[in-house]
Amino acid sequence: MTAEQAGVCEIRPMKNTDAPAAAALEQLCFSDPWGMDEFREIEESRLDRGIAAWADGRFMGYVILRMVAGEGEILRVAVEPSGRRQGIGRMLVAAAKSAAEQENGEKLFLEVRAGNQAAIRLYHSSGFSEYGTRKNYYRFPTEDAVLMEYSLA
pLDDT per residue as tens digits for the range 117-144:
999 999 999 999 999 999 999 988 999 9
Which residues form the catalytic set? 111, 123
Task: Tell me the domain boundaries of the chain.
Answer: 3-151
Predicted pLDDT of residue 3: 44
d(CA 129, CA 143): 20
Q: Which CATH number fits domain 3-151: 3.40.50.10190, 3.40.630.30, 1.10.101.10, 1.10.760.10?
A: 3.40.630.30
Residues of the chain with pLDDT under 70: 1-7
Q: Say what the pLDDT of residue 2 is.
A: 46
pLDDT score at 153:
78
Q: Which pLDDT score is estimated for 15?
A: 93
The span from the CA of 150 to the CA of 48, in Å, is 18
